[in-house]
Structure formats: structure tokens, C-alpha cells
Chains A and B, each alone.
Chain A
């Protein structure tokens, strides 16, 4: 008799969104996929209401102020200053390499998104400090399969973080 394997052998190579740390960004699963499409072009964007001009972040499919669904995409600033930050070396979740560096970033008075929490990458441990300037950086993350009838395609993905301005 064949020996049973460890874990769940029949799921080897299978994808489950419940264990995915990244968003489902593809248009097949996300009506705000434009955010990620724009991100691929280096643009940091969100939705603005055409009725009441309210700018919401994160982007959405209705205006949270007036419930209009007539929205347009606008660009957001991509530079900010570190208000405070933290470095974690131990006990970092399996999805990140230590040091995991996070910053609370002041995006400026004129920005519709005043402050943002973000991971800071392309940065050695012990370097980042309060007041440092940081900028948006876009990077590739693993794609995921989508089944369409008998076809299986791979949806490519990106995400964003910030990095020190050199």
C-alpha cells in the first residue's frame, strides 16, 4: 500500500486566497484593479467623486460621502517624510525578511492622503530615522492562477512600499 504523505498532498501546487498575503488585483476579482494597473506604470492613484469631489483612499467603487458611483482616478503624491518608524529583527512573520522596517509617513498638507503606514525597503537596518524623506517604490509580487473554463492563466501582480530618497 502506498504510504500517505505529510499535510495535504492532493493540494500540492494549488492556490487558495485565504493564505495569500497579497490582494486579488486582477479585473476578474477586483473592480478597483485600475489602482494596480496604474501602479505598474509607477503611478500612485485613488478615486475622486465627480459629484461631490470627495477623494477617498483606498480607492473604491462608490463615494463614501454621497454614494455616487461616478468616480474618476487621480494621482497622489509619491514622496513623504518619516514621522516615526520601527525595525523588527526577531519574530518576523514568514512572509518578510528581517529587519522588517515600517514607517508612519507624513505625505504633506496638500496630499489627500495625509499620513500613510508603509514598509520601507531598499534600506539597511539602523539607517532610517525620523524626518527622512522617502518615496514610493513599486515591485513585482507572485502572481496567482485564474481558471477560465478549461484554461488556466496567471494574473501578474505588483505592490508598493517606500524607500529612502538617496
Chain B
């Protein structure tokens, strides 16, 4: 029997931001937008649902969410119907799981939906709930949870060990906000300058307002199907799920796996595993969506993923190598910094942008893009998730 290849065939998101809507409203908006991206596919054609959401159980009081979502979306899953909770990497995890389900023959076409309704009727809960997003019993009482504290120390350590400058961090924010101007469904559409970033309100120094992604309400959805189904359903170029990896080496901050906080060996390992599974090297990646939850994150991620030398991420972004026309165009739809961050939906938004890039229909198109990568970190930087996409299937 020949190998089944899984493809991403369609996707879209709803408007992200502070939304006057429930989580189930947002999931419906994203599912409609997704099916509008592939005329001809009906809800009844979809035989599986993976629903990525971390806070739906806490902020909307709905456990066992997947059947509720399936019903409201008009789906009748017969192969899989489950919720995925990997915080910021839930969407990417759903895509990796859907790849396995389709390639095994268990599922024919899976909708991977990601959704968070993070803003609650009383605003105290928005920050407070973050104590559930890290190792609660150990790091929560010590002030972790809301992540700027941790990433402030990460930025300071990277600056100390590698000479990364404040302006380098700002360059990431300016680049990603720039691309976000072309993403009307993202949280922000705002022109900012290096000076704006440096002079903005402090969040946790050296990180200011524009160095930190917002929390967002939002949803996104994609369809994953076999190559054979994909050929029947769309005339667009096929985009294959070539590989990926997910690495977790610790949970409590005290067991941080690096030599210092600017050293992320768990991401380096995830990159190596993902490249091996997709049978590519970093220099074959044409476009990347990396997890820019903070400006410093993108700098370290470009290093650990092998797009530049370790320690040189600051000068790499300052010279524009992370932009279209540079050596690794990154976050070409605005990234988390500008598009926002409804945790479970973020990896799906990234997958949608790679789909568009590899089909030649992105707003900030990388000419001839044939291989793309998405990356998420999750929790207190305790897990790294990578998906590799390509115009060619894995050999």
C-alpha cells in the first residue's frame, strides 16, 4: 500500500481582539471563514474535529468541549472528536495530530479549530488566571503566570551574554507590526517606529508595551486531508505536512534546561528533530512563523532554529534578515505581536499564513516559497512545537 500524505487544504480566522462574543461564537465564525476558503466543501464532508483551547474550561466553564463545538459547527465526526490543550501550541499540536490521523487512514478530513475567549466580565481574572498556565504549585505563588517577568529576565540574560541591544528587540516589533498592517483580522493594525517601541510604557524592563504580544479573543480553523482528497477538492497547489516535533524537557522553572536563560536547548532539539522528520536543513526553509510572544523570543528562536548563529540574533534582525527579501522572512502576517494571541488559535493562524505563502497568495509574498515552518513555545517556555510544510511531500 502506498504511503498516504497529509495536506493542509484551507484555512482562515475570525477577527481577533477584544471581542463581544462567546467562545462558541468565535469558533463558528472561524469555521465559516475556513470553509469559505474552499468552496464546495460542506460540514458533512468533515469526519474529524480537533479543538485546541486551553482556557475554555476555566473562563467559559465548559469541559468536554469538542462535542459542543462539533454540534454548533454542524459537524458529525466519525473518526475523532477531541479537545487539545497545549496552551500556546494547541493549534500546532492539533495539526500534527491530524497529520497522523490522516496518514494512518483513520481520518479522511479533519478540521483543526483553535479558540480562546480570554477576556472575562471582570478584568481581574484575565491576569489572575495565568497562574494556571505554568507549574501552578511551584512557579505560580512566585509570581510566574503572566509571562513578561520571565521573558524580561530572558532578555536581560541574552543581552548580558551576547550583547543584544534594546534597538534589536525593537526591530522585531517594528517588522511584525509592519506586516500586521496587511492582516485586517489581526488584533492591531498600527504603524510603529523603533523610537515608539523604546519610549513605550514599561511592562517589565527591558520589555515595553510593543515588545509584548496582547492577549486576544479569537479563533482560527484549517482543514487537513489526504493528498487524494485534496486533489479532488481544490485546484490550488498542494501544501504537504512534511514533519514536525514537540519537545518538553522540564516544567518548573528551577529545572530550566539551558546554561543560562538566553540558551534554549529544548528548542534547538525540537528544531533538529523537526528538520530530520521533514528531511530538510534550516537553509531550505523559505518562510517561518516563529513564536514572537515577546520581541526577544523571535531573536532567540531564529538562533536556536539554525537561521543564524547562536548569539547573533540581535544583529540579524536589526539588519532586516527576518524580513521579506532577507535570509528568513518571518511572521509575515504580523506574528503574535501584531495579530494577537488567543493561545489555541495561534498555531493555526501560523499554518494559514504558511499555506498562503506556499500557494503564492500571501499579502507579503515570499517569491517562490516552497518550504515553510511554524514554531510555538508554550507555558513558561517549557515546550517547543514545530510543524514543517512543503510544496513537495516528504520523500
Please judge, given known A-B contacts A18-B58, A93-B127, A95-B128, whether A118 and B148 are in contact too, CB under 8 Å.
no
Query: Contact between A96 and B143 (Cβ–Cβ < 8 Å)?
Result: yes
- Verify if B99 is at the interface (C-beta below 8 Å from A): no
Please judge, given known A-B contacts A86-B149, A93-B146, A117-B144, whether A23 and B204 are in contact too, CB under 8 Å.
no
Query: Contact between B143 and A100 (Cβ–Cβ < 8 Å)?
Result: yes
Residues of B close to A113: CB separation below 8 A: 254
Category for how many chain A residues contact B: 20 to 34
Please judge, given known A-B contacts A84-B160, A100-B149, A104-B261, whether A95 and B142 are in contact too, CB under 8 Å.
no
Query: Contact between B131 and A85 (Cβ–Cβ < 8 Å)?
Result: no
Closest approach, in angstroms, between the C-beta of B155 and any C-beta of chain A?
9
- Verify if B200 is at the interface (C-beta below 8 Å from A): no
Cβ-defined partner of A91 (8 Å) among B127, B139, B152: B127
Binding site for A on B (CB under 8 A): 58, 124, 127-128, 130-132, 136-146, 148-150, 152-153, 156-157, 160, 201-205, 252-256, 260-261
- Verify if A88 is at the interface (C-beta below 8 Å from B): yes
Closest approach, in angstroms, between the C-beta of B142 and any C-beta of chain A?
5
Cα distance A141–B145 in the bound complex, in angstroms: 19
Residues of B close to A94: CB separation below 8 A: 124, 127-128
Interface contacts beyond A18-B132, A91-B148: sample of 11 additional A-B pairs, CB < 8 Å, sorted by A: A19-B128, A57-B255, A58-B252, A88-B148, A90-B201, A91-B146, A92-B127, A100-B149, A102-B149, A117-B139, A119-B143
Please judge, given known A-B contacts A23-B136, A102-B142, A102-B143, whether A116 and B254 are in contact too, CB under 8 Å.
yes
Cα distance A57–B252 in the bound complex, in angstroms: 9
- Verify if A11 is at the interface (C-beta below 8 Å from B): no
Residues of B close to A96: CB separation below 8 A: 143
Closest A residue by C-beta to B206: A86
Cα distance A100–B130 in the bound complex, in angstroms: 15
SS class of chain B's interface: helix, strand, loop or mixed? helix
Q: Which of A100, A102, A119, A159 has the most CB of B within 10 A?
A: A102
Residues of B close to A161: CB separation below 8 A: 142
- Contact flags A23-40 to B (C-beta < 8 A → 1, else 0): 100000000000000000
Task: Enumerate A1-35 residues with CB–CB distance to B below 8 Å.
Answer: 18-19, 21-23
Query: Contact between A23 and B137 (Cβ–Cβ < 8 Å)?
Result: yes
- Contact flags A86-117 to B (C-beta < 8 A → 1, else 0): 11111111111000101010000000010111
Cα distance A88–B204 in the bound complex, in angstroms: 6
Residues of A close to B153: CB separation below 8 A: 84-86, 102, 104
Residues of B close to A23: CB separation below 8 A: 136-138, 141
Cα distance A46–B347 in the bound complex, in angstroms: 37
Query: Contact between B256 and A93 (Cβ–Cβ < 8 Å)?
Result: no
Task: Enumerate A107-166 residues with CB–CB distance to B below 8 Å.
Answer: 113, 115-119, 141, 159, 161
Query: Contact between A21 and B140 (Cβ–Cβ < 8 Å)?
Result: yes
Cα distance A102–B253 in the bound complex, in angstroms: 12
Q: What are 5 A-B contacts with C-beta separation under 8 Å?
A: A58-B254, A88-B203, A93-B128, A94-B127, A104-B157
Query: Contact between B142 and A86 (Cβ–Cβ < 8 Å)?
Result: no
Cα distance A85–B157 in the bound complex, in angstroms: 10
Q: Which of B143, B157, B256, B261 has the most CB of A within 10 A?
A: B143
Query: Contact between B156 and A115 (Cβ–Cβ < 8 Å)?
Result: no
Residues of A close to B256: CB separation below 8 A: 115
Cα distance A102–B137 in the bound complex, in angstroms: 16
Closest approach, in angstroms, between the C-beta of B43 and any C-beta of chain A?
34
Residues of A close to B131: CB separation below 8 A: 21, 93, 95
Query: Contact between A117 and B253 (Cβ–Cβ < 8 Å)?
Result: yes
Residues of B close to A90: CB separation below 8 A: 201-203
Closest approach, in angstroms, between the C-beta of A116 and any C-beta of chain B?
5
Closest B residue by C-beta to A105: B254
Residues of B close to A85: CB separation below 8 A: 153
Q: Which 10 A-B pairs have the closest CB atoms?
A: A23-B137, A117-B253, A93-B127, A86-B152, A94-B124, A119-B142, A119-B143, A84-B156, A116-B254, A102-B143
